[in-house]
């Protein structure tokens, strides 16, 4: 569906992202594992434990068809994820860094094999709520969400230990591209005349330009053309951190330039591409 934009296949990138992560983790000193990260209350060890949880949860659900999720009374999906993520992280504190590295190395190729067998246009195992809440997602945004998840957590570890990496355009550009698919959802509450457009420009080697158009009563992804109704520009580091709330909306706006309809530019600079 063009609401999500053209399909993006990130499956060949999983092994490369994981190799960069494992090389990073293998070079850490014991003290590095206790370094605090941007994730509240989590150090590097906790973030790695969370990534391990992601691997195991995906293999259990997408490969093995295991449901397993038990929601508390009136618990929302974000609340459920926050609770269960914290529970697993706490449990994983008993695991050694070396064992977690070995588990990631062991489980990663098995998850790669799951995605390699998927039809990108088939229904997703899990809908991508930050792209649309009223439509079923195809598989490719769901698979892409996993890639962005792993890449972002790697960057959080790198920030914590002050070791840059994995920002080559071919690794980073798909993350930005997938996050930009949240544009229609970010604009969803703003009714505008048919044909109104909003453009997002992300500056940097991994950046690009994206657009959403108001068509048939909703916002959809589109090719950037002509003079938009609203336009926002920011650098690539600002964009991925905004989309994952590694920085605040206010910080992102200070680092951005905007023109046109202020309500639309405000919505673009509040874009969120994680479940929250």
Show me where the domains of the chain are located: 13-122+137-163, 183-268
Edge-first strand order for the sheet with 230-235 is: 218-222, 208-215, 197-203, 230-235, 257-260
d(Cα 180, Cα 4) in Å, to the nearest integer? 10
Q: What is the pLDDT of residue 73?
A: 78
d(Cα 51, Cα 151) in Å, to the nearest integer? 10
Radius of gyration of the chain (CA): 19
Q: Which CATH number fits domain 183-268: 2.60.40.420, 3.30.300.30, 1.10.150.120, 3.30.1050.10?
A: 3.30.1050.10
Among the listed residues 238, 239, 231, 237, the one whose alpha carbon sits nearest the alpha carbon of residue 257: 231
Sorted by sequence, the CB contacts under 8 Å of residue 29 that are 6+ apart come out as: none
Q: What is the pLDDT of residue 70?
A: 80
What are the C-alpha distances in Å from 257 to residues 171, 182, 199, 232, 273? Answer: 26, 19, 12, 6, 20
> How many Cβ atoms from other residues are within 10 Å of residue 75's Cβ?
14
The fold of the 13-122+137-163 domain, in CATH, is 1.20.120
* Below-70 pLDDT ranges, the chain: 1, 276
Q: What is the pLDDT of residue 276?
A: 59
Q: What is the pLDDT of residue 191?
A: 97
Among the listed residues 100, 88, 86, the one whose alpha carbon sits nearest the alpha carbon of residue 41: 86
Q: How, if at all, do strands 257-260 and 197-203 pair?
A: unpaired
**DSSP codes, the chain:** -TTT-S----GGGHHHHHHHHHHHHHT--GGGGG-B-SSTT-BHHHHHHHHHHHHHHHIIIIIT------PPTT--HHHHHHHHHHHHHHHHTTS-HHHHHHHHHHHHHHHHHHHHTS-TTSBPSS--TTT-SSSPPBHHHHHHHHHHHHHHHHHHHHHHHT---S--HHHHHHHHHHHHTTHHHHTTT----TT-EEEEEEESTT-EEEEEEEETTEEEEE---SS-SEEEEEEHHHHHHHHTTSS-HHHHHHT-EEEE-HHHHHHHTT---S--
Torsion over CA: 272, 161, 175, 236 (sign): positive
Q: What is the pLDDT of residue 220?
A: 96
Q: What is the pLDDT of residue 2?
A: 72
Q: What is the pLDDT of residue 134?
A: 85
Angle of the 14-26 helix axis to the 97-116 helix axis, nearest 10: 180
């Amino acid at each position: 569906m063009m609401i999500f934009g053209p399909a993006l296949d990130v499956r060949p990138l999983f092994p490369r992202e994981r190799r960069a992560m494992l090389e990073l983790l293998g070079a850490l000193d014991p003290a590095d594992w206790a370094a605090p990260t941007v994730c509240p209350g989590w150090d590097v060890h906790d973030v790695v434990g969370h990534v391990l949880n992601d691997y195991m949860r995906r293999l259990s659900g997408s490969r093995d068809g295991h449901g397993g999720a038990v929601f508390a009374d009136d618990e929302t999906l974000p609340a459920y994820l926050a609770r269960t993520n914290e529970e697993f992280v706490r449990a994983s504190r008993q695991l050694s860094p070396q064992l977690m590295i070995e588990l990631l190395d062991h489980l990663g190729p098995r998850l790669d094999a799951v995605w390699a067998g998927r039809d990108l246009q088939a229904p997703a195992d899990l809908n991508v709520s930050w792209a649309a809440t009223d439509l079923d997602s195809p598989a490719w945004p769901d698979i892409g969400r996993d890639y962005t998840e792993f890449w972002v957590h790697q960057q959080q570890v790198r920030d914590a230990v002050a070791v840059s990496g994995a920002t080559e355009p071919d690794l980073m550009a798909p993350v930005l591209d997938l996050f930009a698919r949240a544009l229609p959802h970010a604009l969803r509450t703003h009714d505008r005349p048919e044909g109104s457009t909003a453009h997002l420009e992300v500056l940097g080697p991994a950046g690009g330009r994206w657009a959403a158009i108001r068509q048939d009563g909703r916002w959809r992804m589109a090719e950037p053309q002509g003079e938009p109704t609203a336009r926002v520009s920011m650098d690539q580091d600002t964009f991925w951190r905004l989309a994952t709330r590694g920085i605040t909306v206010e910080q992102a706006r200070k680092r951005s330039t905007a023109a046109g309809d202020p309500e639309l530019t405000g919505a673009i600079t509040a874009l969120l591409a994680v479940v929250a």
